Structure 1
Amino acid sequence: MNWKFGDNINTDLITPGRYNITTDPQELAKACFIEYRPEFRQKVRPGDFVVAGENFGCGSSRETAAIALKYSNITAIVAKSYARIFFRNAINLGLLCVIADTSSVEEADQLELDIESQILRNKTKDREIKVEIPSMMLRLYREGGIIAYLKKNGLFALANLEKF
C-alpha cells in the first residue's frame, strides 16, 4: 500500500508539536500523521510507501518528523521535492527519500522500488518511473544512517562520502 499526500506536507502534520515530548522512536511513530491521517498509525505496514508532491517535510526543522516516519517501517518516501532540512534529517537517519514525478501515482497503486536501477514500478498501472536517489543518501541508507556509518568507518570517513 502507499499513502498519498499532496504538496507542502509540513512537519507539524507529520508529528504535531504536542507529541514531541519524547525522543523514543516507537512513541514518535505512534504520533505519525495522528491528526492529519489518524488511520495511518493503525494501518501502516512494513513495505508501505509515503508518496507526496512538492516540498515534503517543510515547516519546523524538527527531526522528530523523520524519526516518526522511519520507525513507522515504511519502505521509502517518494516525492517530487523535499524541504532541505527534512531531507538532511532523513539522510542522517537512513530514511530513504527518493525524488520522482508522483503525479500519476494513486493511493491504491501497488508500488515496488528498485534502488539499484533507481526505478519505481507501479504494478497496478504497469508503469515504471525513474527516481533519483543521491549517492550519499543511498550509502547512508545502506549503513543505517550517519551514526551507524561513523561507528563503522570512523569520523574521517565523512570525507569519503560523495557530495550531491
Structure 2
Amino acid sequence: MELRGRAHCFGNDVNTDYIISGKYKFKTLDMKELAQHVMEDLDPDFARKVQPGDFVVAGRNFGCGSSREQAPLALLNAGVGAVLAQSFARIFYRNAINTGLPVVVCDTSSIRSGDELVVNLERGVLKNLTQGTETPIKPLPPFMLKILADGGLVEHFRKYGTFNLE
C-alpha cells in the first residue's frame, strides 16, 4: 500500500479534543459535518486546506486523551490519508486501524508542512520528495495491513465473516 500527499505538521501531545473538539462531537454523529471542524483548534483553516490523501504529521503521543473513535473517523472523512507521528496513544492507534486510517510510527522531526511525501507501508519507507530523503518507518503487522486494505475492521468482517489472518 503506497500513500501520497502533502504534510500538515503539528507538535507533540495532540489530543483527541484537538483533533475534533468536544463541542462538535457531542452535537452530531455525522462524520462529514465533524470533518469540517477537524484540527481547527490547532489550525482553523486545516479542513479547507487538506486535500484527499494528505498527511497529518506530528511528534510524540498523537491521539492522547479520550478514546472516542470520532477522532480517526473525522480525519478520514476530511480526506487525511494517514497520520505520521513519532508515537501514538495506544487507544487512538487501534481505533485508527480499526476505522481504516493508516497510522505510521517514524521520525517526523525533519518533515515540514507542505512537503510532498510518499509512504510505502509494505516496504517500510517514507520518502520526502521535497527534501529528497528516505526514512524507515516501523512496519505494520500483515494483519493490520489487511484490515487497512479492507477499509477497516467492520469492512474486514463484512468481507470475510470473521477475523481473517490469511
Q: Does the pair score TM above 0.5? A: yes
Gaps of 5+ in 2: 1-5
Q: Does 1:149 align with 2:156?
A: yes
Q: Does 1:26 align with 2:32?
A: yes
Q: Does 1:4 align with 2:12?
A: no
One-letter identity of the residue aligned with 2:138: E
Q: Does 1:14 align with 2:13?
A: no
Percent identical:
45
- Structure (1/2) with the larger helix percentage: 1
Match of 1:121 in 2: 127
What is the CA deviation profile of residues 85-105 of structure 1, one whole-angstrom value per residue up to 9, with x for unaligned ones? Answer: 101110110100011011111
Match of 1:89 in 2: 95
Q: Could you tell me whether the CA contact under 8 Å between 2:60 and 2:85 is conserved in 1?
A: yes
What is the CA deviation profile of residues 127-156 of structure 1, one whole-angstrom value per residue up to 9, with x for unaligned ones? Answer: 10111232232111100000000011113x
C-alpha distance in 2 between matches for 1:96 and 1:133: 11
Q: Could you tell me whether the CA contact under 8 Å between 1:97 and 1:133 is conserved in 2?
A: no
Gaps of 5+ in 1: none
C-alpha distance in 2 between matches for 1:137 and 1:72: 22
What is the CA deviation profile of residues 60-87 of structure 1, one whole-angstrom value per residue up to 9, with x for unaligned ones? Answer: 1111111101111122111111001101
CA drift of 1:161 comes to 3.5
Higher relative contact order (CA 8 A, sep 6+): 2
Aligned residues: 159
Q: CA RMSD in A?
A: 1.3
Deviates more, 1:81-90 or 1:129-138: 129-138
Give the TM-score normalised by structure 1: 0.92
Q: Does 1:79 align with 2:85?
A: yes
Structure 1 runs of 4+ with >3 Å offset? none
One-letter identity of the residue aligned with 2:37: A
CA drift of 1:56 comes to 0.2
C-alpha distance in 2 between matches for 1:17 and 1:42: 20
Q: Secondary structure at the match of 1:12?
A: helix
